[in-house]
Amino acid sequence: MISVAGLNKSFGGTPVLRDITLDIAPGERVVVIGPSGTGKSTLLRCLNFLDRPDSGTVRIGDLSVDAARATRPEILALRRRTGFVFQNYALFANRTARQNITEALVTVKGQTAEKANATADRILAEIGLADRGDSYPSALSGGQQQRVGIGRAMALDAELLLFDEPTSALDPEWVGEVLDLMRKLAETRQTMLVVTHEMQFAREIADRIVFMDEGRVVEEAPPDRFFDAPEDPRTRAFLRRVT
Ligand code: ADP
Ligand code: MG
């Protein structure tokens, strides 16, 4: 079980996350939606302490990290259990697709180069880039780069994958292939927390939709109920704007 309890985060005295509580079951696919500036990215970043929460607890399985007294080893352990897919891919420009995937396997997971390369080749095949392992990011399309970004997270075999608007920096022509890869991953029942504006995709893959507004979880429900019978007026207003 993954759980976030009483998470708060302010930037410069402005509260961005207000007492967020969220539980995610193993194998669950949760989609977070909400207006921009509402704290969705901050929530994902606080989950693995890329941003340090001001208060609250993040628990993944038997590891519980309290913001008030988190130690460096605890934070690293938390990061080993999560994979992060960034909006702008965040690939190393001076490393090949294969090296982008092996990097964390060697540095974070302590794998030998040989084992990491074998994992990377398996992942490259799974993301449909078996023949592009030696290509540098600049030689890949936006869609291919983001597939490498997802492959890098997949390779870690993490208990939780976090996706922060993985298709919103892409030209429209590349969105489909990235969503297809995420659908495939969702079918394996990888535990996923996905921030996206792709409402149709959210409805298809989510077990649960979480709607955030002004740093709070306003409403959460299975997709059919969420989209067809939203309860909170803020959810209704948002859905009217985006669907
Ligand atoms: P969302 O992902 O929902 O669009 P964010 O989590 O990116 O929202 O941002 C929520 C609010 O926090 C915004 O007002 C944003 O400007 C602010 N914010 C995010 N990160 C920082 C930061 N590192 N420093 C200062 N303000 C930040
Ligand atoms: Mg964001």
Mutate to test the pocket of ligand 1, among 18, 41, 196, 213 (most ligand atoms within 8 A of CB): 41
Residue 33 alpha carbon to ligand 1 centre in Å: 15
Residue 25 pLDDT:
97
**Taking the mean position of all CA atoms in its chain, how far away is CA 59?**
16
pLDDT of 38 reads 97
ipTM of the predicted assembly exceeds 0.85: yes
Stretch 218-229: mean pLDDT: 98
Cα 36 to ligand 2 centroid, rounded to whole Å: 7
Ligand 1 contacts (CB < 6 A) are 11, 16, 34, 36-42
Task: Tell me the best of 7, 9, 16, 195 to mutate to test the pocket of ligand 1, counting ligand atoms within 8 Å of each CB and taking the most.
Answer: 16
Protein residue closest via CA to atom 26 of ligand 1: 11
State the ligand closest to the CA atom of 36. 1
Residues 6+ positions from 219 with CB-CB distance below 8 Å: 210, 211, 226, 230, 231, 232, 234, 235
Q: Containing H/E element for 235? A: helix 233-242
Exposed/middle/buried for residue 30 (C-beta within 10 Å: 0-12, 13-18, 19+): buried
Residue owning the nearest CA to atom 24 of ligand 1: 11
The contacts found for 129-137 with CB under 8 angstroms, 24 or more apart, are 129/97, 132/97, 133/96, 133/97, 133/98, 134/96, 134/97, 134/98, 135/96, 135/97, 136/93, 136/94, 136/95, 136/96, 136/97, 137/89, 137/91, 137/92, 137/93, 137/97, 137/100
Q: Which ligand is nearest to the CA of 40?
A: 1
Q: What is the pLDDT of residue 243?
A: 81
Reported as a single tens digit per residue, the pLDDT across 34-82 is 999 999 999 999 999 999 999 999 999 999 999 999 999 999 999 999 9
Residue owning the nearest CA to atom 23 of ligand 1: 11
- To test ligand 1's pocket by mutation, which of 7, 9, 10, 11 has the most ligand atoms within 8 angstroms of CB? 11
User: How far does CA 225 lie from the centroid of its chain?
Assistant: 23
Place of tokens 């995709």: 201
Read off the pLDDT of residues 82-134 as tens digits, 9 standing for 90 and up.
Answer: 999 999 999 999 999 999 999 989 998 899 999 999 999 999 999 999 999 99
**Listed residues: CB within 5 A of ion ligand 2:** 40-41
CB atoms within 10 A of CB 21: 12
Question: Which atom of ligand 1 has the smallest separation from the CA of 195?
Answer: 2
Rounded to the nearest integer, the mean pLDDT of the chain is 96
85 C-alpha vs ligand 2 centroid, how far in Å? 12
